[in-house]
Amino acid sequence: MEWAPGDRSNIEDRRRMVGGRAIPVGIGGFVVLLLVSWLTGIDFTSLVTDQSGGPPPSASSQALGTPQEERSVDFVDVVANDTQDVWAQALGGRYQRTKVVLFRDATQSACGFAESATGPFYCPNDGKVYLDLGFFDELSRRFGAPGDFAKAYVIAHEFGHHVQHLTGLDSTVRGGATMGAGGASVALELQADCFAGVWGYAASRSGSPTAGHVRVSADDVPEALRAAAAIGDDRIQRETTGRVMPERFTHGTSAQRVEAFRRGMASGDPNACR
C-alpha cells in the first residue's frame, strides 16, 4: 500500500489529554479487553475498571508519541482524507467532511464519555470517528492482522457508518440497536464493511499517490481480508468464551465480514452494499 502524507486536516488530536480512570492491569492486557468487548458486545473491561460512576479525573498533559506513532497519525489522516474524497465524489453535496478524533485512554464525545474499551467507533451525534491508536497494535500482534491495508479497512469501516448516517441508512437502529445474527446492528456493520470495500476499489484504481492519498495494490487485499476474518463475532466469541452465541452478535461472522468487504471491493458500487 502506497501513501503520501497530507496536512493532518482530517485529524482532531487529543492524545495530549489523558482523562481515564485508573487501570489496574497492563495496557496491553487492557487493549485486548477493549477489542474483545467491542467485537462481542460483552463488557469484559467492567471486570477491571472503576465502577464508581464518578466523573473522570482532570485531564493532564502528556508528550506526543514516538516517530512510529506519529507515522500512524499521518497514516490515519491520509486514509481519512482519501476515503472522504471517494465518498464526496459518490454522494456529491450530501457528503459532509468530518474528522478522526485520536485519543489516549479516554475522551469525551457527543455520545458520552468514551474509554479505549469502546474501541474505534463512530458517534452520529457529532459525526466524528474516534480512535485510540493502540487498537492497531493489538489487531496486528494478537489477532494476526498486520499491514497498512488492515488498518485502513478499520478506518474506512467507521467512515462507512458516517455515510450511513448522512444518507439515513442508520435509521433502523436509532433508539437502540437490535442485536443478534439477524438483527439490524449486524446488517449495518456488514454494510459498513462493504462500504470499506467500495473505498478500497477506488484506491486500487488510483495512480501514484499525491499528498493525502493512497494507492492499493492487489497484493494488499489479503491484509484487509485477514482483518475482517479476525474480528468476526463467531471467532472472537469462540476464542474468548469457548462458545459461539449468535444472539450476542453485533458485527457478523468472519465469513460474513469477509464476503461483505469482497462485495464492495469487487464492484466499487455503493448500491451493491444495500
Q: Taking Cα atoms as reference points, which of 37, 35, 59, 56 lies closest to residue 46?
A: 37
**In the prediction, which pLDDT does 134 show?**
92
> What pLDDT is stored for residue 197 in this prediction?
98
Helix (H, G, I), strand (E, B) or coil at 201: helix
Could you give the angle at the alpha carbon of 210 between the alpha carbons of 221 and 164, nearest 5°? 55
Question: Which cell numbers hold the place of 34?
Answer: 477493549
Beta bridge partners of 3: 214
| Closest to 116 in 3D by CA, of 95, 137, 130 | 130
Q: Which string of DSSP letters, residue by residue, matches 216-236?
A: --GGGHHHHHHHHHHT-HHHH
Domain ranges of the chain: 2-273
User: Which pLDDT does position 155 carry in this prediction?
Assistant: 98
Task: Say whether 253 sits in a helix, a strand or coil.
Answer: coil
**Residue ranges for the chain with pLDDT beneath 50:** 20-28, 30, 46-63
Confidence at residue 176, expressed as pLDDT on a 0 to 100 scale: 53
Q: How far is CA 28 from CA 110, 201, 229, in A?
A: 27, 34, 22
CA-closest candidate to residue 191, choices 150, 218, 163 = 163
Can you read off the three cell numbers belonging to residue 133?
Answer: 491508536
SS3 of the chain: helix, strand, coil, percent, to 5: 55, 10, 35
H-type helices in the chain, by residue range?
A: 27-40, 67-91, 134-141, 148-167, 184-204, 221-230, 233-241, 254-267
- Dihedrals phi, psi of 107, to nearest 5 degrees: -160, 170
Residue type, 103: F
Distances (CA, A) of 47 to 8, 43, 104, 153: 36, 8, 20, 30
Paired with 12 in beta bridges are 101
- Tens of pLDDT, residues 108-144: 999 998 888 778 999 999 999 999 999 999 899 888 9
